[in-house]
């Protein structure tokens, strides 16, 4: 007996659209997904029906405006499962750096010629700050394997498991040379969850923490190691706060704001 197709919507909030583009770049996997689920709303793909009720809502982006706050409540009310995709939706993203700034009220005027028309809240918040989230897909951006696995498990009637083991485990699986121990270069692999396939270490570069904090991240110990490698305090803070600045696992690492006079 053929199982019924679930309905799906992809909603954009404040973001760069990178996670939606990652979905569009899935190629044949996207065609397979479209056969498994009925995509009702996906603006990047040309499907517009934002107010439709669906089984699965994928949400990209953070809550930055008053309109965002209203809209996420509506998305939640119209979906059985709400899954956040990407760093912006799961933790507030790069734009949440403004939450740590004492001068964030001045930023719109430095960017826009008419800042009085910019409707911005004081903070950039993760989606889970405002509504119940059923599952999170971390990454900056996410990858097609995550989407296929999560939706495939929902189609089988089970919730996807949370994968939060350290990136270092993935490096060992791939037999990659450790950038931190062997090369002596700063790498966030010991505190970052796997999911990217150890992309940066595979090219000899340290991890930037795109996939967010892993299980039991000992951030302070790693920060001391970065200091031992010669990083200044502000450079250490930038490493931890660049992509997921609002994560409590990194809260003890001081964020030192640079000013125009520095």
Where in the sequence is the domain holding 196, given as residue range(s)? 167-250
Confidence (pLDDT) at 106: 82
* Same domain membership, residue 205 and residue 145: no
* Same domain membership, residue 201 and residue 75: no
Confidence (pLDDT) at 122: 86
213 in Cβ contact with 250 (< 8 Å): yes
- Residue 241 tokens, joined: 């706060």
* Same domain membership, residue 231 and residue 135: no
Instruction: Kindly give the parts of the chain with pLDDT less than 70.
Output: 1-3, 258-262
Report DSSP letters for 247-259, one per residue: -GGGTTSPP----
* Same domain membership, residue 116 and residue 91: yes
d(CA 167, CA 211): 9
Confidence (pLDDT) at 3: 64
Select from 155, 187, 216 the last residue of a domain.
155
* Same domain membership, residue 224 and residue 99: no
Confidence (pLDDT) at 232: 95
**Would 208 be classed as within a structural domain?**
yes
**Would 96 be classed as within a structural domain?**
yes
**Would 61 be classed as within a structural domain?**
yes
* Same domain membership, residue 242 and residue 193: yes
Confidence (pLDDT) at 262: 46
29-71 pLDDT, tens digit per residue, is 888 888 899 999 999 999 999 999 999 999 999 999 999 999 9
Select from 121, 155, 189 the last residue of a domain.
155
* Same domain membership, residue 126 and residue 65: yes
Instruction: Identify the CATH number of the domain in which residue 125 sits.
Output: 3.40.50.700
- Residue 242 tokens, joined: 């660049």
CA 200, 163, 150, 93 torsion: positive or negative?
Answer: negative
Domain count, the chain: 2
**Would 160 be classed as within a structural domain?**
no
CA distances from 251 to 15, 46, 111, 177, 240 (A): 23, 40, 28, 29, 9
Select from 155, 189, 216 the last residue of a domain.
155
104-126 pLDDT, tens digit per residue, is 888 888 888 888 888 888 889 99
Number of helical H runs and strand E runs in the chain:
10, 5
């Amino acid at each position: 007996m053929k199982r019924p197709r679930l309905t799906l919507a992809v909603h954009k909030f404040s973001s760069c659209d990178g996670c939606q583009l990652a979905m569009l770049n899935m190629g044949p996997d996207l065609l397979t997904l479209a056969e498994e689920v009925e995509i009702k709303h996906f603006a990047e793909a040309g499907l517009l029906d934002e107010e439709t009720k669906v089984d699965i809502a994928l949400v990209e982006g953070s809550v930055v405006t008053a309109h965002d706050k209203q809209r996420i409540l509506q998305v939640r009310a119209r979906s059985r499962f709400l899954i956040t995709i990407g760093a912006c939706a799961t933790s507030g993203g790069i734009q949440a750096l403004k939450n740590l700034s004492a001068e964030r009220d001045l930023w719109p005027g430095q960017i826009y010629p008419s800042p009085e028309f910019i409707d911005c809240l004081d903070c950039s918040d993760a989606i889970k700050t405002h509504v119940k989230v059923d599952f999170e897909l971390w990454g900056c951006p996410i990858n097609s394997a995550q989407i296929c696995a999560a939706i495939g498990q929902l189609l089988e009637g089970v919730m996807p498991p949370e994968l939060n083991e350290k990136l270092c485990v993935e490096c060992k699986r791939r037999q990659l040379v450790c950038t931190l121990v062997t090369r002596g270069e700063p790498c966030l692999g010991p505190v970052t969850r796997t999911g990217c396939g150890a992309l940066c270490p595979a090219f000899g570069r340290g991890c930037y923490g795109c996939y967010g904090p892993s299980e039991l991240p000992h951030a302070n110990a790693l920060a001391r190691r970065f200091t031992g490698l010669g990083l200044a305090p502000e450079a250490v803070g930038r490493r931890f706060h660049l992509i997921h600045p609002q994560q409590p696992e990194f809260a003890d690492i001081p964020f030192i704001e640079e000013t125009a006079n520095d």
